[in-house]
Amino acid sequence: MLLLGLTGSIATGKSTVSSLLSKPPYSLPIIDADLIARQVVEPGTAGYNAIVKYFSPTTPDLLLPDATPKGRPLNRPALGRRIFGSGEEKERDRKMLNSIVHPAVRKEMYRQMIWAYLKGNWAVVLDVPLLFESGWERYCGTILVVGVTDPSIQIARLRNRDAHLTEEDARNRVMSQGDVREKAERCLRRGPGRGVVVWNDHDRGYLEKEVQRVMQDVRGRSPRWWTFLCWVCPPLGALAGLASWYRMKKVQEEWENEKKREKAKL
């Protein structure tokens, strides 16, 4: 089973592509890291309790006033203002939040991947906004990046979607996820078929054609006979996955070492 990593940056259209891939003619199962991240911090969960314990002393409006049977939900805009932006304190709080949420998200993603494999799917989409940053890169046989050529497009789309955001808030959120054009470059370093990019600067019709184009290529590199063979012979699938993991690990390390050398020159 192919692990198809789907990533991009906020307001680039990644969710739209995820929706397209979940429907015919693709009909792929989607493992949505953002959705899972919301589920693991709902009132009553261990993640929720840890966030409240750490953030409530410094964030008075952390919880919404309307309570559910299990407690008051998190006020996500307030939490976002707490962690997004520059500065040592925000960076520390962002790391703390990630240390609470990420382990619980990974556990649920593994469970859903196993279930998709048992059902005989030829591929499963790992919809992860911070795929490169969270270390999922090496596990994916193919990565699809949804990008735009100008960050101002992201800021405009984000403010249209979330009217409560100021331009500064929108810019901070966009910048906190890194330059999507760099993600696209990193993706293409993986090689043909292993890294593909969809540019979403235009309308939905153009985006649908771009998705169709790249998915035809991805599907052609993962024929049905190979999918069936790996499903009926799990050791073969495991060996193929291990070989892919090793190759992609080398690509990841080469990229990271190159960036370190560039920083050392500054």
207-253 pLDDT tens trace: 999 999 999 999 999 888 988 998 889 899 899 999 999 999 999 99
108-124 pLDDT tens trace: 999 999 999 999 999 99
- Which of 95, 118, 141 is where one domain is finished? 118
CA distances in angstroms from 236 to 30, 39, 197, 232, listed in the order given: 24, 34, 29, 9
Residues 132, 7, single domain; the answer is: yes
C-alpha count within 13 angstroms, C-beta hemisphere, residue 176: 21
Nearest to 179 by CA among 214, 208, 153: 153
Q: Note the pLDDT of residue 52.
A: 92
Confidence category of residue 20, pLDDT binned at 50, 70, 90: very high
DSSP 3: E
- Which of 118, 150, 172 is where one domain is finished? 118
Residues 112, 129, single domain; the answer is: no
Residues 106, 146, single domain; the answer is: no
- Which of 118, 149, 173 is where one domain is finished? 118
Q: Note the pLDDT of residue 81.
A: 86
Q: Give CA 265 to chain center in angstroms.
A: 31
Residues 91, 59, single domain; the answer is: yes
CA distances in angstroms from 73 to 37, 63, 89, listed in the order given: 14, 6, 24
Residue 54 CA to residue 180 CA, distance in Å, equals 31
The whole domain housing 23 covers 1-29+122-266
Nearest to 39 by CA among 77, 73, 83, 82: 73
pTM across the whole model: 0.84
Residues 23, 40, single domain; the answer is: no
Residues 127, 1, single domain; the answer is: yes
Q: Note the pLDDT of residue 86.
A: 81
**CATH code of residue 59:** 3.40.50.300
**Mean pLDDT in residue range 150-169:** 90
- Name the burial class of residue 47, with classes exposed (0-12), middle (13-18) and buried (19+) by CB atoms within 10 angstroms of its CB: buried
Confidence category of residue 65, pLDDT binned at 50, 70, 90: confident
Q: How far apart are the first and last CA of the chain?
A: 43
Residues 38, 111, single domain; the answer is: yes
Residues 163, 260, single domain; the answer is: yes
Q: Note the pLDDT of residue 245.
A: 94
Per-residue pLDDT for 266 more than 80?
Answer: no
Residues 41, 56, single domain; the answer is: yes
Nearest to 76 by CA among 44, 53, 102, 42: 42
Query: How many structural domains are present in the chain?
Result: 2
Residues 111, 235, single domain; the answer is: no
Q: Note the pLDDT of residue 216.
A: 94
Residue 193 CA to residue 127 CA, distance in Å, equals 18
Residues 41, 25, single domain; the answer is: no
Q: Note the pLDDT of residue 102.
A: 86
Residues 214, 250, single domain; the answer is: yes
CA distances in angstroms from 118 to 3, 23, 228, listed in the order given: 14, 20, 12
Q: Note the pLDDT of residue 133.
A: 85
